[in-house]
Structure 1
Amino acid sequence: MLNWTLLLVSAAAMFLLSWLSMRAAGDKDESGFLVANNSLGPFVAAATIIATGYSGFVFMGAPGVAYQYGSFELYSNTFYTPAFLIATVFFAGFLRRKAQRMGSRTISEYIANSHSDGAAGRWLRAISAIIIVLLLSVFLVSQIRAIGLLMSGWLGVSSSTAALFITLLVIGYTIFGGLRAVAWTDTVMIIGMVIASCAIGYVIFVEVGAAELISRLDLIDPELANPSTGAPYGGSTLASFLVLPYAFLWAAALPYMSVRFLAIKKDVSMAKVGIWVAIMGLLLNFTPLAGLYARAYFPNLDTPDMAMPTFIGDAFGPVMASMITLFILFAMKSTANSLMHTISTAISYDIRHALGVKTGFFSRMSFNRLMVVLVGIMAFVTMAYLPPVMVLWLGVLGNGTLMASLFGVSLCSTFWQGNSVGALTSIAAGFCTSAYALMATEMGWVQGPLLGCLASAIAYFAVSSLTRKFPIGGSREALAN
């Protein structure tokens, strides 16, 4: 009853925030739904960036990887904060100003406006939006699966029932106010996420003691406490440093992250946003310790992804365990609502405009909300037929491949302008390289997407340069100049 009460009270609070955000955004213009009317201040912007970036993969995936591979995940996890900080301070401003100058409300629209105004631009917009839908759907399915695993024991129901219930909750408060609702609810959620992470650190360093934990891990396998390889990110321990560029590209190139940069107020200093990003990110770096604790005291779990629920049940009393589980649920819901918003926007706004499809008897806002509902249902149904894979690997497959696909056309194009031919080639090169490396080779989880980014950049620069004499379309800025 305590768990159900906590869940329903928090859900009511999320619905209230969403309803208030809908009133603030208005219902006449899609700008409120798509980019929160460019109204995010420094604290709210940082909160929604970190809440979305430090998601279920940090609270469920990272402990699972630490359980399976050892303390290397703890080292690697520390690179996310500086990477997000660099992306916020040194890249977000460029993207925000260029997007506002071109009137772009989504990343696919930004890509199309940067490279062509004609038919080639519409195709580029449609293709990039379709890839966003496909690959972010993979990540959304992994989030829903993680939610089901965490919530099943907490609510006393099956994992499928728990996933369905939470999916419906997320759909409910996402459809009200779009990105504004997502940002406001993320701001509340990040407080709980920070409390949960600090509670994990307190258990490990104060109640258990780092020395005791290390000695127990050594008895099981010395590699757990003192790894000699960089598994699962690469063969060498130096592979942890690859997480820094990987996480930077995550924040800069992934649409559900970079769209938050577009929503920040024009007069807000990105340095102020960066300060809050650094503070929140540093406080969320304790989560892999839960996986090491579970491996030390429960070395025979059926699946590594049960490391966090096992830790919570053993390390905390009933009331505290319920609160920490709720806060971890916040982390997963913050990403789930962001993914639903981004995927539904790609369908209802980008693909619709690119193909010239009318909304019929639906208003534009009603059509946007309908897509949120359909995306959520689709993700849940897909999750029901998902084979047993690690949550974090599934997230890397979706995020990493999308990051590689859009690296050239979103990040590289901010500093060097290519054309539509180079953009289309870049998307194909990044997609194929990363997908092949992750699914058909033994390459590390970070190395595959980074190789895809390299292929995307080379294709973008080379093909754009070779075809400049025979352009299919010119960018809006080039035409203006």
Structure 2
Amino acid sequence: MQEYLWLNWLIMLGSIAGLLWLGWKSSATVHADGDDESGFLIAGRSLGPFVGAATIVATGYSGWGFMGSPGVAYQFGAIELLGNFMFAPAMVIAVLFFARFLSKRAEEMHSCTIPEYAARTHADGMLGRWVQGVAAIMTIVLLLVFLTSQIKAVGILAAGWLDLPEAWGATLMIAIIIIYTVAGGLLAVAWTDALMLVGMMIAAVIICIQIFGDIGPLQLVAALNDIQPDLVNPSTAQPYGTTPTAVFMVLPYAFMFSAVLPYMAVRFLAFRPDVKFTTVAAYVAPFACILSLIPIVGLYMRVQMPDLAEADKAMPVYLETFLHPALGGFITLCILFAMQSTANSLLHTVASAASHDMRLALFPRHKNPATVLFINRAAVVVLGLAGLLMMLFAPPFLLSWLGILGTGTLLAALVGPIFVASFWRGNGWGALASMISGFTVSGSMLLWTQAGWVVGPLTGCLVATVFYVVVSLVTGGRFVPSPSTA
């Protein structure tokens, strides 16, 4: 491996140059309308169907899909393969049946972020600012948790590939993300995502060819059964739930994940008005199905190396052990930047919540375009470094679990004002009650019970929905936005 280290660094430096070039090119969109915030926050509503579909899938599958998911499969077995696959139909359903509605309504209300959309949908004045501020704080706190897991993932992989300490690898990766995100905002994120999705799919195909060329599917199942029958015929759906059928709850969870989470749903706001979402879905389906195969690495490694000290090492050790160093280096590069597609989306969303939503909640009259753009960009730098520091000092954790803690709890917090509101619109008090109750229930169940990774968030969604409707009815019923709000 050492003799190929120079090649790894050469490939890395070339890729960095390409990503920075895309960031520089996309920066023109940020300034296209006189530094209007929409250029930085939602790419000036300029995404086409291919780039839009690519950034949705890359963001949804990358970091946890290539590092966390094989680790879960290594530890819990084939249940993760089924759970991972549920994201493909869920993303297609979200694009077909929710994206157009959210995109159109957000444009009518001049909303550039999901917290801003929640506020303008439910209240005017001070109450609206409270809704936006609370949604922004939850977004910042919970997605910083997820960002920490993504930075750790890229740090683990970069460290082994480039022969660096884990902290140095993570620092290099987050620095690259910060630079091109600062330059081009969401458009830079989307363009780099599209480029990296191509590499991700090539990597997935190569991995499957190698694994099934070495051991056939039936042989793999038999070998796993010999190690532990629960790996192929589970008596529970752990880590998703206590009954075998609990894994199917990943489907509604993944749909809400795609439709509600700010770092996913903001992409729906960024599409061009003329885009047909049936075309977007036609791209999303094959992209997602191919990437759903990645957990097979964890199953293969459980057979080949059943005594790994850490389950999350399954993918890095596989690349180092079972592929030619040159081929492994190429796939490692694809995976590294694939993981960045989630990390950059998280960082952009957290920075938007801090610089845009918190600013409007606290200082709604400050709208100087140049100053606002500077605040947007400064937030990317500050919060990127904050995520790095959190990773450096965090105790050991399973990557996928930390991701579920952040995204699942935020999903439960926002399901009322974002998703339920598309069928029945409550008011600001109902939105606040829904966010607080969903946050509390989901977070508590994930941290202090063994209910399962999807049971906690979905229970939080149910409780949040009840609070949203009941509190809205008790406090005056539905809110109708004024023409100035819309």
TM-score (norm 2): 0.96
What SS is found at the alignment partner of 2:105? helix
- 2:122 and 2:337 map into 1 onto residues whose CA distance is 38
Matches within 5 A, 1:312-461: 312-356=319-363, 358=366, 363-461=371-469
**Are the counterparts in 1 of residues 40 and 186 from structure 2 also a CA contact under 8 Å?**
yes
Within the alignment, does 1:199 sit opposite 2:206 as a pair?
Answer: yes
Within the alignment, does 1:466 sit opposite 2:474 as a pair?
Answer: yes
Residue 212 of structure 1: CA displacement? Answer: 2.7
- Which amino acid in structure 1 is aligned with residue 467 of structure 2? A
TM-score (norm 1): 0.97
Within the alignment, does 1:271 sit opposite 2:278 as a pair?
Answer: yes
Q: Which residue of 2 aligns with 1:186?
A: 193
The counterpart of 2:60, out of the listed 53, 57, 61, is 53
Matches within 5 A, 1:216-235: 216-235=223-242
Residue 198 of structure 1: CA displacement? Answer: 1.2
Q: Which residue of 1 aligns with 2:14?
A: 9
Gaps of 5+ in 2: 1-5
Residue 478 of structure 1: CA displacement? Answer: 8.2
- Which amino acid in structure 2 is aligned with residue 13 of structure 1? G
What SS is found at the alignment partner of 1:103? coil
Residue 475 of structure 1: CA displacement? Answer: 4.2
Residue 219 of structure 1: CA displacement? Answer: 2.5
Q: Which residue of 2 aligns with 1:20?
A: 25
Within the alignment, does 1:166 sit opposite 2:170 as a pair?
Answer: no
**Are the counterparts in 2 of residues 418 and 461 from structure 1 also a CA contact under 8 Å?**
yes
Q: Which residue of 1 aligns with 2:117?
A: 110
- 1:103 and 1:24 map into 2 onto residues whose CA distance is 18
- 2:190 and 2:473 map into 1 onto residues whose CA distance is 39
The counterpart of 1:37, out of the listed 31, 38, 44, is 44
The range that moved more, 214-223 or 440-449, is: 214-223
The counterpart of 1:152, out of the listed 159, 164, 169, is 159
- 1:296 and 1:253 map into 2 onto residues whose CA distance is 38
What SS is found at the alignment partner of 2:42? helix
**Are the counterparts in 2 of residues 204 and 210 from structure 1 also a CA contact under 8 Å?**
no
Residue 205 of structure 1: CA displacement? Answer: 2.1
**Are the counterparts in 2 of residues 70 and 292 from structure 1 also a CA contact under 8 Å?**
yes
Provide the aligned length of Structure 1 versus Structure 2.
478
Q: Percent identity?
A: 46
Residue by residue over 1:369-421, the C-alpha shift from the partner in whole angstroms, topping out at 9 and shown as x without a partner, is 11100011000001111111100000000000000000001111112110011
Residue by residue over 1:67-106, the C-alpha shift from the partner in whole angstroms, topping out at 9 and shown as x without a partner, is 0011110111111000000000001111111111111111
The range that moved more, 355-364 or 223-232, is: 355-364
What SS is found at the alignment partner of 1:442? coil
**Are the counterparts in 2 of residues 138 and 395 from structure 1 also a CA contact under 8 Å?**
yes
**Are the counterparts in 1 of residues 71 and 311 from structure 2 also a CA contact under 8 Å?**
yes
- 2:157 and 2:261 map into 1 onto residues whose CA distance is 26
What RMSD over aligned residues (CA atoms) do the two structures have, in Å?
A: 1.7
Within the alignment, does 1:87 sit opposite 2:90 as a pair?
Answer: no
Gaps of 5+ in 1: none
Matches within 5 A, 1:254-293: 254-293=261-300
